[in-house]
Structure 1
Amino acid sequence: MQVDVTTYYLEMTDPQQLRPKPINNPNFEIKQVGIPLPELNQFLYTTVGKAWFWTNRLTWTLPQWTEWVDRSELKTWIGYLSGTPAGYFELELQLANIVEVAYFGLLPSFIGLGLGGPLLTAAVEQAWALGATRVWVHTCTLDHPRALANYQARGFRIFAHNNHSQEVVSPVGGD
């Protein structure tokens, strides 16, 4: 099915632009993945993105996932609620110390619990800690309805957007 999609590109150019949302749940913690594990990133991408038509990587083979995660430019963090993975983000270091929040989201069972703001705060803080001169992200109208508002509430500013028509296909195992 063809749908009209708007993609928004957002950025921060100074750490002072971050408007943090603190972690208010003592059972929520965020840890960096210490050992790249392609199956883990595949699980997170598939589970988080299922409802938002993240289908670009569904056909990736294990070697493709390995190539994506097993490089020094990519860092992955996972948010845990009471020891259970609740969300994640991937940061990709790019040229000129630019860091992209490549992927970000919560697993379906954890949406609406107030974890998105603190998780995004951690993503931005970690990006600046990597020595970023600019942190950017993109989101679109297929993503969670509060995604754009969360980015803007944390201090990201839209620097570009575009409209296009996109074929959306329900992912394998989608509802």
Structure 2
Amino acid sequence: MLSNFDAPVLSPGFAAVPPGHIAAIVTSLEMVEPPALRDAKPFPDGTVLHRLVRPDGETYRRLYRVVGADWLWFSRLTLGDEVLRAILDDPRVEILALRREGADLGLLELDFRQPDTCELAFLGLVPEALGQGLGRTLIHAAIERAWSRPIRRFWVHTCTFDHPGALGFYRRSGFTPCAVEVEIAPDPRLTGILPRTCAAHVPLLA
């Protein structure tokens, strides 16, 4: 999902979503100073956060899909190879894989391309890694890495396609809601970007 604070303002009432599209409510959250990480815990033994330096496109897309498919992450999958390559090669974008014994468990992506700002572009775990407390440790690592740079704002956005606990998770982590938007996009399950079996919690209206 992409955030655009200059998007047109919607009028009150209902609006029809075009056939073959999906609509999500997107909440942006921010912090303007590092929070106190009182309950921070280290990753379990054998679990490490590994920096991916200029990963090839297919390696990145594979990790992105396995982490985000059930939450309808699709923005990176719609990018052409050259556009994606420019992001992956940019030293101001940090891409990290959470790994255990060589297996990928999660993705963390921090985007420092805007001056004085870090965007928590992506943070997520593979389905089998959920419920182990890894998300809490991963967000703490994200906060520490972001504020180790001379930034003034750290922000993230989540939407109604994400895990139902995502908004509360970010608020408990020190983020404060700052904007709400509605995004309408072609359903990636109908365009072939993602399998039709993904995101059973989101109605598929062919």
Structure with bigger gyration radius: 2
Flag the 1:14–1:4 CA change in 2: closer, same or farther, 3 A: same
Which range moved further: 144-153 or 156-165?
A: 156-165
Q: Distance in 1 between matches of 2:116 and 2:39?
A: 22
Q: Distance in 2 between matches of 1:24 and 1:73?
A: 25
Tell me which residue corresponds to 2:154. Answer: 135
Question: Scaled by the length of structure 1, what TM-score is found?
Answer: 0.86
Q: Distance in 1 between matches of 2:45 and 2:127?
A: 20
**5+ residue gaps, structure 1:** none
Give me the identity figure in percent.
30
Which range moved further: 43-52 or 61-70?
A: 61-70
- What do residues 104-129 of structure 1 show as CA deviations (whole Å, max 9, x unaligned)? 11122212222111111111111111
Q: Map 1:76-155; keep pairs closer than 5 Å.
A: 76-155=95-174
**5+ residue gaps, structure 2:** 1-19, 198-206
Q: Which has the higher strand share?
A: 1
Question: Scaled by the length of structure 2, what TM-score is found?
Answer: 0.75
Tell me which residue corresponds to 1:173. Answer: 195
How many angstroms does 1:144 deviate by?
Answer: 1.4
1:22 alignment partner, SS class: coil
Tell me which residue corresponds to 2:17. Answer: none
Q: Distance in 2 between matches of 1:67 and 1:117?
A: 30
Q: Distance in 2 between matches of 1:114 and 1:49?
A: 18
Give, as a single letter, the amino acid of the residue that structure 1 aligns with 2:88.
V
- What do residues 15-64 of structure 1 show as CA deviations (whole Å, max 9, x unaligned)? 13555531352232212223443332212222212111122332433323
Q: Distance in 2 between matches of 1:126 and 1:82?
A: 23
Please say if residues 93 and 113 of structure 2, whose CA atoms lie closer than 8 Å, have aligned partners that are also in contact.
no
Q: Distance in 1 between matches of 2:114 and 2:184?
A: 30
How many angstroms does 1:97 deviate by?
Answer: 1.5
- What do residues 89-108 of structure 1 show as CA deviations (whole Å, max 9, x unaligned)? 11111333200011111122
* 1:67 and 2:86 matched: yes
Q: Distance in 2 between matches of 1:19 and 1:50?
A: 32
- What do residues 136-170 of structure 1 show as CA deviations (whole Å, max 9, x unaligned)? 00010111122112211211111111245554342
Flag the 1:174–1:3 CA change in 2: closer, same or farther, 3 A: closer
Please say if residues 86 and 107 of structure 1, whose CA atoms lie closer than 8 Å, have aligned partners that are also in contact.
yes
Task: Choose between structure 1 and 2 for higher RCO, CA contacts under 8 A separated by at least 6 residues.
Answer: 1
RMSD value, Cα: 2.2
Give, as a single letter, the amino acid of the residue that structure 2 aligns with 1:126.
R
